[in-house]
Structure 1
């Protein structure tokens, strides 16, 4: 298995994120994923720099780790032809270390362009067209495209990696699995659901495609003091228990504040391992490898304490996780 570090753009500024990325590589993480948002979920998080500028800088201060968007919505804030150009440039800057992670997006980020927020079925249709456009451009086509949701007029990528860029797509159910398994190289999903992984693998086999990576993410809040960790996780990450259906549709941080008003610190601590106990973190990651995941990135909650986590906890945590995970 591969274990990654999350560059959480909603909780740190751009220079700090670049510094954390370099530290995370030195500490031994295998890959690094970056969120790609226009808004944080809660005002207390306080940040949202442009992910692609951050990733470009990260590509220059790292040498070994894979880099990935987790995930970019290529349908509203960004036209898919522009996303293809971003991905191709990142592929070159990183010397082939970049994976393009895509998803159908959240209203919180996409509402800023002033368009209506489509229902989930329409969003999946938009994402499907977007993946086709991005794939064709990354493959080197001179592309004119006239679809239901997007038009492309004589587009071409003038600078792109010869080997292309691999694409991972976030899915959450059987319908999206059947739709995107034939189009993507890898699966992104946030819950350790073995049935979903099995459906994805079966759909790829039916289309004579090679097995893919299955990439997940786990929030943690390491701190030398457990009470401080619980307080920070509650302040910054209490939105995470709402589920994808809620998270995708709420349009503002005020909505997330209202939706999480009744969430208690102990509720967050029940789902996010908090404090100095590394074994609790290993136990939180274990369901992912049991469900068939190949890659898991940890999210260290909060900007405060990020240096301390990387300096004190990252290396012993990776040692423990790798010892526990299947070879």
Structure 2
């Protein structure tokens, strides 16, 4: 199965109020984007001006306000704040409300979203084990009735989800390391990762791990939708595009710098201390649409089939208009030329 190339809009729930973000997402559909994805965070990356709407009710509202776009999470964590059975139940309902338009994207989580509720944040080995078990339970609940599941971390006793869509909700697994990526290849309908981390990570580590995992399940990566959140700061005013990246400075922090940081105020302090030259590293910063498309296309060349664009600036309407006029037509034209 070959997946058609799709271009999505990342709804920045950490940056905009819920209704404002709905309006931007509706605008993105009208501008020609194929999908809208939102993160499910209890807390944002920064306290000042931060937002963190709950993804589940927000997605329901967006589905009611749109007609065509695929809608999903990138990502939600089904292992701590939510029991995986609750996630399976909620997304089955969303799938009934908007058949064929809902995607569940899941990841292993951030302490920022769990620890403030008094949830102990375990080591990576336990988080991975919980994540794998949660995926298996969600899929079991979607596939069967009277599901009795005896796992190490989760259990169900003759559980049934009574309202399930005729067309199953695709489950996409997010990963940034080889072990979780192999798991995505083995269990996921799609794979999610983020851009700006160096070509070798994707070509030499993640994509080979994905192929290895898929092979263990008797399939290939062409059976999956390969999604990447592409960090883009595009504006015909290059200085504006550069400065916009400072709002998301936390993304430029190393794992060591942000490990165990559970307070948005502290995360904000660390991020604001970074120079703009560093905050811009994770982003494709450009004022030239031809050059911008060329850099985006590198990810298509690697094999990614679903590019979801995350813009950091405060004027999302301007970003959407400029992408509609200057970038999306070039991407679609190039997609036609390359089959």
TM-score between the two structures when normalised by the length of structure 1: 0.92
Deviates more, 1:237-246 or 1:16-25: 237-246
1:280 Cα shift?
4.2
Q: Deviations over 1:243-287 (max 9, x none)?
A: 567656431213323433441112223442345432343244223
Tell me which residue corresponds to 2:24.
20
1:46 Cα shift?
1.5
The answer to whether the 8 A contact 2:38-2:55 is kept is: yes
Provide the secondary structure at the position in 2 that maps to 1:36.
coil
The answer to whether the 8 A contact 1:181-1:203 is kept is: yes
Tell me which residue corresponds to 1:265.
276
Q: Alignment partner for residue 197 of structure 1, among 182, 207, 211?
A: 207
Tell me which residue corresponds to 1:215.
227
The answer to whether the 8 A contact 2:184-2:213 is kept is: no
Q: Deviations over 1:106-156 (max 9, x none)?
A: 011112321111111110100011001110111132222221111223321
Aligned length: 325
Q: Where do 1:1-327 residues align within 5 Å?
A: 1-191=5-195, 193-195=202-204, 196-209=206-219, 211-234=223-246, 236-243=247-254, 249-274=260-285, 276-302=287-313, 304-325=314-335, 326-327=338-339
Q: 1:51 to 1:261 in 2, by over 3 A?
A: same
Q: Deviations over 1:141-194 (max 9, x none)?
A: 222222111122332112110222111101222222333422111111114502
Provide the secondary structure at the position in 1 that maps to 2:186.
coil
Provide the secondary structure at the position in 2 that maps to 1:182.
helix
Q: 1:82 to 1:289 in 2, by over 3 A?
A: same
Provide the secondary structure at the position in 1 that maps to 2:13.
coil
Could you list the runs of 5+ residues in structure 2 that have no partner in the other structure? none
The answer to whether the 8 A contact 1:7-1:34 is kept is: yes
Provide the alpha-carbon RMSD of the alignment.
Answer: 2.1
TM-score between the two structures when normalised by the length of structure 2: 0.89
Q: 1:201 to 1:272 in 2, by over 3 A?
A: same
The answer to whether the 8 A contact 1:33-1:67 is kept is: yes
- Partner Cα distance (2:39, 2:131) in 1: 18
1:206 Cα shift?
3.3
